[in-house]
């Protein structure tokens, strides 16, 4: 197997995992009370449907990358 193929697969796992973890944290933060700015305005929350969609996409990409690494 070529070095660049392995690096590409590792990047696939890393990007998928980052997408999954980032959206999981956004989902957990969404459940907490919204933080307030110094002006007294609530910060916007991440849309639920988009967050869940990206969460699933990140999980699938990370698992796909892990399976590709294991198969090589």
Q: What pTM, to 2 d.p., does this model score?
A: 0.81
What helix, strand, coil percent values describe the chain, rounded to 5? 75, 5, 25
Give the model's pLDDT for residue 65.
95
pLDDT level of residue 1 (50, 70, 90 thresholds): low
For residue 17, which of 55, 69, 68 has the smallest C-alpha distance? 55
Report how far residue 42's alpha carbon sits from residue 33's, in angstroms, rounded to the nearest whole number: 9
Give the model's pLDDT for residue 39.
80
pLDDT in tens, 13-71: 999 999 999 999 988 887 777 777 778 787 777 889 999 999 999 999 999 999 999 98
């Amino acid at each position: 197997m070529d070095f660049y193929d392995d690096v590409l697969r590792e990047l696939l796992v890393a990007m998928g995992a980052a997408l999954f973890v980032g959206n999981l944290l956004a989902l957990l933060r969404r459940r907490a009370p919204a933080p307030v700015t110094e002006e007294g305005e609530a910060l916007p929350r991440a849309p639920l449907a988009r967050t869940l969609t990206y969460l699933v996409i990140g999980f699938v990409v990370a698992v796909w990358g892990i399976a590709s690494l294991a198969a090589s």
